[in-house]
C-alpha cells in the first residue's frame, strides 16, 4: 500500500481484545471471587438516582481494599489501573456505564460469569495475589481514557511540573475554558472576603459579571472537552483550584487570545491564533516581530497556502515556520492523500497559468517556495515515497515545468540543480530495486496462525534473506535467517544445528490452518510452500511423528538454558542493544502516524515499528523461557542474577526497550511465583532489582521512567509501547476535525511527540563488538528461542517448583 491511500478511519479498534488473554481473565475473576468472600460487607444494596442498585460496591472502597491486601500495589493510581483492567474485561460493571474506573463514590457491580478454562492457575484462594501481579504487568498497556478521575487521597508530587505537562496536551479551546474557570473561582474568593464592605448593588453587578465568564462557547470548540472542564470544576478537582500563595493574574492582554478567521462563502476556511515569537526572523502576516500567527484549524488547501506564504527563501527559516512545515509534512496523510498533495502543489506552482494577474516578482518566489517544500518533503521521507506512483508522476511533471520556466526565470537555476539531485536519487533507488548487486536486507516474517505476515514494501527477491520462525513445539520456536529461495533441507540443517539434534532424525512439516500436515521434501522451496497458505512450519522427529516435547528429560535442552551462564553479561547486553538499535534506527517517523490512525491495512506501512514491538515481547518471553527451562535450583538462581545484571547493563547502555522487557520478564507470574528461587537471591541483587523495577513504575504517567530517560544523552532507545501510548492519548483525546476543519493543533501535538525519535537518534552507537571468544553470541541474540504460551510457561513453572 502506498501513501496515496488515505487514512480514513481516525479511530483504533478496541485494543483490549488484543492485550488481555485467558490467563489475565482468570486472574481478574480470581480477584473478584476473593473480594466477594473477604469483603462481603462492602457489597450492599444502595440508593441510586433511578432506584435501588443491588449488590454494588463503591469505587474508592475497591481501591482501599486492594491497597490493604496487596502490599506490592504501591499507590492508588496503580490500584485504579488493576480495577480498570477488570472493567475492560467485563468482570466489573459500571452502574453509570462509564468506560473509566473512578476512584470516587461511584457504584460498580460484578459480573456472574465463571472461569471455563481447563487449567486455571488462580483457582485456589492462596494464588489470587499472583493473579494481581499478572494484572500489574498489563496496567502499562491499558488504553488511555479521557475522563475526570478524581484521586482525593493521593498526594501528587511535583504538581507544577505535572500540570504543565497536562496543559501542553490541551487544545486552545480547552485552555480558554480552564482560564475562565480559574478566573471565576478567584473572583468568588475575592467577593467572599469583601462582601461585608460591598453594597447590594455591587454584589449584583459582580454576580452578573460572573455569569458572563463561565463557558463562553465558540463554534470551533470541542464541546465534549469543554464539558469535561466544567465537570472538573463542579467536582472541585485539585487541578483547577485557584487558592495559590500568589494571587492569580486573571487579566491577559487581548493580543494573546487574538484569533483571525478567513472565510469563504460565510464559512471559516482558516483559523489563526496570534502568539508570541522568540525568533528575530521576519514573520509573515504580523505587525510586529514579537508576534506571529499559528494555525489552529483550517481546510487542507488553506493550511498549505498559509504554509507557502510563511516560507522564507533568502534567510534561514524561523523556528515557528520550520515547525509548521514539519508538522504538515509529518501528518498530511491524516487529512489528504499523497495524490491530493501533489495536485495542490502543482496548482500552486502553475498558478500563473490560471490567474495571469500576479506581479512578475511574485511568480518565481512562489515557484521557489513550492520547490523548497518538495525538497523538504523528499528529504524527510527519503525512500518511504519511492514506490508511490503518484509521486513518481508528480516529480516528472514538475521537473518538466521547471525546465520550461528556467529560461523565463533564471533565478530558478539553483532550485533546478537541487531538484535534479532529488530526481537522480529517486531514479537510482528504482534501478537498485532490481539490481542483482543490491545489498541484502533482512526482514522478519512470522509463521503464525494468530497474526498476518509482516510484509515489507516492495517485491521479495529470491536473493533476499529473511528471519522466519520454525516451531519446535506448539508454543516454542527458533528464529533462523535464510534466503527466500532456501530449500527445506537447507533450513532443516540450520534448525538441527541450533537445537542439537541429528538432521537425519528430523523432518520439516507445514501445518495449515485447518490442521493438515504436509511434509516437505529435501528439495522443496520451504518458504514458498508456507507462503501459499496461512500456516506454520514445524520440525518433527521422524520416529515419533510429533513435535519435540519441551518437558522431556533432555540433557541437551537443559544444557542450552545453562549455556547463557558462560556469557559475559556486558557483552550480552551490548549485543541486545546493537540489535535493538538496528531495528529502532530503521523506524520511519511516519510509521507512528500510520500505527495510530490506521485500523486496517497499515501492516506494510508499519513494518519496522512492528518488528521492534515484537522484539520487546520476544525478549520478555526469552527471559521467562530460559529461567523456566532450567530445572536445577542453583543454576536457576544464577540465571536470575544474570538477567538482573543484563537489565542493569541495558539501562547503562541507554537501551530502555530491552531493559523494560527483561524486568517485565522477571516479573511475569510464572517466574515471580518461584519462591524457592527468589529466596536464594542475594540481598544486593534484590536491592538492585528493586531499583531497576522502580523505573517501570506506571504511577504518575510513568514519571520515574520519563525523568530518567530525559536525563540520558542520545543515542538512546526508548520504550516504544509508552511512546505509542502518548501519541494515542493525544489522538483519542482530541477530535481530528472541528466543524469540517482540520484540527491542526492536535496534529502539532502528535508531530511534536513523534519528533522525539530524532532526538534519540541524534548520534550513532559506537557499534562495539563482543570479543572473539563469544562469536556465537550474535546468532544467539538474533535467533532467540522462546515459548510464547503463558499456559505452557505455567506448566513448566509448576514442574520445577510444585505448589506446596
What's the CA gap between 640 and 27, in Å, rounded? Answer: 25
7-11, 321-325, 704-708: which is most confident: 704-708
pLDDT surpassing 90 at residue 744: yes
CA distance 232 to 166: 14
Q: How many CB atoms lie within 10 A of CB 798?
A: 15
Which has more pLDDT, 480 or 199? 480
pLDDT in tens, 143-170: 655 444 444 444 444 444 455 555 655 6
Contact 173, 741 (CB under 8 A): no
Task: Please tell me the distance from the alpha carbon of residue 604 to that of residue 585, in angstroms, as a whole number.
Answer: 17
Which phi and psi (to 5°) does residue 487 adopt?
-85, 165
Q: Using one digit for the tens of pLDDT, what is the confidence trace for 562-572?
A: 578 888 899 99
Confidence (pLDDT) at 385: 65
**35, 17, 39, 15: which is closest to 27 by C-alpha?**
35
pLDDT value of residue 328? 93
Tell me which of 306-315, 385-394, 638-647, 671-680 is least confident: 385-394
C-alpha cell at 290: 514579537
User: Grid coordinates standing for 11?
Assistant: 479511530
Between the CA of residue 577 and those of 615, 642, 656, what are the distances in Å?
Answer: 12, 16, 9
Q: Domain spanning 16-141 has what CATH number?
A: 1.10.10.10
* pLDDT tens sequence across 62-83: 999 999 888 888 888 889 989 9
- As a whole number of angstroms, the distance between CA 550 and CA 474 comes to 10
All three cell numbers of 192: 467572599
CA dihedral 416, 421, 425, 431 (to 10 degrees): 70
- For residue 408, the model assigns a pLDDT of 85
**Residues 111, 94 contacting (CB under 8 angstroms):** no
CA distance 380 to 83: 43
Q: Above 70 in pLDDT, residue 439?
A: no
Per-residue pLDDT band for 197 (boundaries 50, 70, 90) equals low
DSSP result, 478-524: EEEEEETT-BHHHHHHHHHHHHT--GGGEEEEEEETTS-EEEPPTTS
What is the DSSP track for 714-755?
SS-B--HHHHHHHHHHHHHHS-SEETTEEEHHHHHHHHHHHT
Predicted pLDDT of residue 708? 94
Judged by average pLDDT, the poorest of 95-104, 323-332, 760-769 is 760-769
Q: Looking at domain 443-549, which of 3.30.460.80, 3.40.50.920, 3.10.20.90, 3.30.70.260 is its CATH number?
A: 3.10.20.90
Residues 484-526: pLDDT tens digits?
A: 677 777 887 887 777 777 777 788 777 765 456 777 777 777 6
* Other CB atoms within 10 Å distance of the CB of residue 688: 17
Query: Mean pLDDT over residues 358-377, rounded?
Result: 81
* Cα 689 from chain centre: 26
C-alpha cell at 625: 523461557
Question: Could you tell me the CA-to-CA distances from 14 to 91, 141, 605, 732 in Å, in that order?
Answer: 17, 13, 20, 12
| Buried/exposed code over 147-159 (b: 16+ C-beta within 10 A; e: otherwise) | ebbbbeebeeeee
Q: pLDDT, tens digit, for every residue of 256-297? A: 447 888 888 888 889 988 877 654 333 333 344 557 778 999
Residues 6+ apart with CB under 8 A from 520: 488, 507, 508, 509, 510, 526, 529
3-state secondary structure of 57: strand
Adjacent-strand bridge partners of 108: 57, 94
**3-class DSSP assignment, residue 646:** helix
Q: Is 303 exposed, middle or buried (0-12, 13-18, 19+ CB in 10 A)?
A: buried
Mean pLDDT comparison of 412-421, 530-539, 549-558, 677-686, highest-scoring range: 677-686
Cell of 375: 525538497
Give the mean pLDDT of 37-49: 80
How many helices and strands (H and E) does the chain possess? 33, 17
What is the spatial distance between Cα 697 and Cα 783, in angstroms, rounded to a whole number?
30
Res 20: pLDDT: 59
Q: Where residue 467 falls among pLDDT bands split at 50, 70, 90?
A: low
- CATH of segment(s) 256-433: 1.20.870.10
**Share of residues in the chain with pLDDT > 70 (%):** 64
- The secondary structure of 261-294, three-state, reads EEEECCEEEEEEEEEECCCCCCCCCCCCCCEEEE
46: β partners: 53
Out of 406-420, 440-454, 508-522, 545-559, which region has the weakest mean confidence (pLDDT)? Answer: 440-454
Pull the grid cell for residue 575: 549485543
**CATH code, residues 561-715+761-800:** 1.10.840.10
Residue 204 in this model has a pLDDT that exceeds 50 = no
Q: What is the mean pLDDT of the chain?
A: 73
Whether the CB-CB separation of 510 and 535 falls below 8 Å is answered with yes
Give the gyration radius of the chain's Cα atoms: 30
Long-range pairs, 206-210, Cβ under 8 A, ≥24 = 210/184
Convert 698-724 to b/e letters by CB count within 10 Å (16 or more is b): bbbbbbebbeebeeeeebbbbbbbbbb
Domain residue ranges of the chain, discontinuous segments joined by +: 16-141, 162-236, 256-433, 443-549, 561-715+761-800
Nearest partner of 667 among 72, 259, 227, judged by Cα = 72
pLDDT at 665: 94
pLDDT at res. 748: 93
**Contact call for residues 60 and 75 (beta carbons, < 8 A):** no
Which pLDDT value is given to residue 363? 84
Look at residues 21, 42, 170 and name the one whose alpha carbon lies nearest to residue 749: 170
Global pTM reads 0.58
User: What is the model's pLDDT at position 693?
Assistant: 93
Using alpha carbons, select from 22, 153, 19 the residue that is nearest to residue 79: 153
Helix (H/G/I), strand (E/B), else coil: 643: helix
Q: What gap in Å lies between CA 11 and CA 25, rounded to an integer?
A: 25
The pLDDT value recorded for residue 150 is: 42
Q: Using alpha carbons, list the distances in angstroms from residue 166 to 76, 175, 239, 715.
A: 19, 10, 10, 27
**Do 411 and 418 form a contact (C-beta atoms < 8 A)?**
no
* pLDDT, average across residues 98-119: 78
Q: What is the pLDDT of residue 229?
A: 45
Neighbours of 170 (CB within 10 A): 19
CB atoms near residue 764 (< 10 Å)? 10
What confidence score (pLDDT) does residue 219 get? 40
- Residue for grid cell 527471559: 623
- Whether 624 has a pLDDT exceeding 50, the answer reads yes
450 or 216, greater pLDDT: 216
Amino acid at each position: 500500500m502506498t501513501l496515496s491511500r488515505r487514512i480514513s478511519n481516525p479511530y483504533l479498534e478496541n485494543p483490549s481484545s488484543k492485550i488481555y488473554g485467558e490467563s489475565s481473565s482468570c486472574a481478574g475473576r480470581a480477584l473478584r471471587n476473593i473480594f466477594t468472600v473477604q469483603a462481603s460487607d462492602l457489597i450492599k444494596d444502595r440508593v441510586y438516582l433511578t432506584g435501588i442498585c443491588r449488590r454494588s460496591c463503591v469505587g474508592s472502597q475497591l481501591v482501599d481494599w486492594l491497597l490493604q491486601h496487596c502490599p506490592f500495589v504501591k499507590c492508588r493510581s496503580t490500584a485504579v489501573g488493576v480495577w480498570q483492567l477488570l472493567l475492560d474485561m467485563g468482570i466489573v460493571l459500571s452502574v453509570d456505564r462509564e468506560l473509566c474506573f473512578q476512584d470516587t463514590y461511584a457504584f460498580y457491580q460484578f459480573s456472574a460469569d465463571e472461569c471455563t478454562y481447563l487449567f486455571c492457575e488462580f483457582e485456589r484462594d492462596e494464588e489470587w495475589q499472583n493473579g494481581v501481579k499478572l494484572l500489574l504487568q498489563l496496567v502499562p498497556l491499558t488504553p488511555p481514557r479521557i475522563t475526570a478521575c478524581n484521586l482525593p487521597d493521593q498526594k501528587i508530587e511535583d504538581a507544577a511540573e505535572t500540570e504543565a505537562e497536562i496543559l501542553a496536551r490541551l487544545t486552545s479551546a480547552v485552555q480558554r475554558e480552564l482560564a475562565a474557570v480559574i478566573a471565576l473561582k478567584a473572583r468568588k474568593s475575592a467577593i467572599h472576603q469583601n462582601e461585608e464592605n460591598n453594597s447590594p448593588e455591587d454584589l449584583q453587578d459582580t454576580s452578573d459579571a460572573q455569569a458572563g465568564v463561565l463557558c463562553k462557547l465558540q463554534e470551533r470548540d470541542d464541546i465534549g472537552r469543554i464539558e469535561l472542564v466544567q465537570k472538573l470544576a463542579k467536582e472541585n478537582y485539585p487541578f483547577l483550584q485557584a487558592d495559590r500563595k500568589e494571587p492569580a493574574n486573571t487579566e491577559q492582554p487581548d493580543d494573546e487570545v487574538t484569533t483571525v478567521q478567513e472565510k469563504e462563502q460565510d464559512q471559516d476556511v482558516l483559523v489563526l491564533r496570534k502568539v508570541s515569537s522568540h525568533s528575530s526572523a521576519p514573520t509573515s502576516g504580523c505587525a510586529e516581530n514579537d508576534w506571529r500567527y499559528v494555525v489552529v484549524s483550517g481546510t487542507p488547501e488553506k493550511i498549505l497556502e498559509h504554509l507557502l506564504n510563511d516560507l522564507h527563501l533568502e534567510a534561514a527559516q524561523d523556528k515557528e515556520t520550520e515547525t509548521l512545515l514539519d508538522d504538515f509534512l509529518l501528518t498530511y496523510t491524516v487529512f489528504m492523500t499523497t495524490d491530493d498533495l501533489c495536485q495542490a502543489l502543482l496548482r500552486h506552482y502553475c498558478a500563473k497559468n490560471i490567474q495571469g494577474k500576479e506581479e512578475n516578482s511574485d511568480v518565481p518566489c512562489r515557484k521557489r517556495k513550492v520547490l523548497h517544500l518538495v525538497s523538504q518533503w523528499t528529504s524527510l521521507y527519503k525512500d518511504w515515497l519511492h514506490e508511490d506512483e503518484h509521486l513518481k508522476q508528480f516529480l516528472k511533471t514538475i521537473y518538466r515545468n521547471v525546465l520550461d520556466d528556467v529560461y523565463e526565470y533564471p533565478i530558478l537555476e539553483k532550485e533546478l540543480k537541487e531538484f535534479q539531485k532529488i530526481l537522480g536519487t529517486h531514479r537510482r533507488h528504482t534501478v537498485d530495486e532490481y539490481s542483482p548487486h543490491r545489498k541484502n536486507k533482512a526482514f522478519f516474517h512470522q509463521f503464525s496462525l494468530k497474526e498476518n505476515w509482516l510484509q515489507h514494501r516492495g517485491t521479495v527477491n529470491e536473493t533476499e534473506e529473511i528471519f522466519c520462525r520454525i516451531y519446535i513445539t506448539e508454543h516454542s520456536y527458533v528464529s533462523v535467517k535464510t534466503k527466500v529461495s532456501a530449500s527445506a533441507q537447507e533450513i532443516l540443517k540450520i534448525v538441527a544445528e541450533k537445537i542439537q539434534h541429528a538432521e537425519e532424525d528430523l523432518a520439516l512439516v507445514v501445518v495449515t490452518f485447518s490442521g493438515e500436515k504436509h511434509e516437505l521434501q529435501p528439495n522443496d522451496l520451504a518458504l514458498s510452500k508456507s507462503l501459499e497458505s496461512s500456516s506454520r512450519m514445524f520440525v518433527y522427529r521422524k520416529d515419533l511423528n510429533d513435535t519435540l516435547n519441551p518437558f522431556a528429560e533432555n540433557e541437551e535442552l537443559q544444557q542450552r538454558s545453562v549455556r547463557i551462564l558462560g556469557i559475559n553479561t556486558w557483552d550480552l547486553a551490548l549485543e541486545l542493544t546493537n540489535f535493538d538499535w538496528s531495528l529502532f534506527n530503521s523506524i520511519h517517523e511516519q510509521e507512528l502516524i500510520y500505527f495510530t490512525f490506521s485500523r486496517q491495512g497499515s501492516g506494510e506501512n508499519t513494518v519496522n515499528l512492528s518488528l521492534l514491538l515484537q522484539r520487546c515481547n520476544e525478549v520478555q518471553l526469552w527471559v521467562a523461557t530460559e529461567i523456566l527451562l532450567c530445572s536445577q535450583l542453583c543454576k536457576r538462581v544464577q540465571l536470575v542474577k544474570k538477567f538482573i545484571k543484563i537489565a542493569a547493563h541495558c539501562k547503562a547502555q541507554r537501551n530502555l526497550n530491552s531493559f523494560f522487557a527483561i524486568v517485565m520478564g522477571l516479573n511475569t507470574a510464572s517466574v515471580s511465583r518461584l519462591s524457592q528461587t527468589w529466596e536464594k537471591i542475594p540481598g544486593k541483587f534484590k536491592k538492585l532489582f528493586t531499583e531497576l523495577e522502580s523505573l517501570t513504575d506506571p504511577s504518575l504517567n510513568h514519571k520515574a521512567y520519563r525523568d530518567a530517560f530525559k536525563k540520558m544523552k542520545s543515542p538512546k532507545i526508548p520504550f516504544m509501547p509508552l511512546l505509542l501510548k502518548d501519541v494515542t492519548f493525544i489522538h483519542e483525546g482530541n477530535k481530528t476535525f472541528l466543524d469540517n476543519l482540520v484540527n491542526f493543533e492536535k496534529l502539532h501535538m502528535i508531530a511534536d511527540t513523534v519528533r522525539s525519535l530524532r532526538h534519540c537518534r541524534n548520534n550513532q552507537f559506537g557499534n562495539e563488538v563482543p570479543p572473539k571468544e563469544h562469536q556465537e553470541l550474535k546468532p544467539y541474540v538474533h535467533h532467540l528461542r522462546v515459548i510464547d504460551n503463558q499456559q505452557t510457561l505455567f506448566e513448566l513453572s509448576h514442574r520445577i517448583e510444585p505448589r506446596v
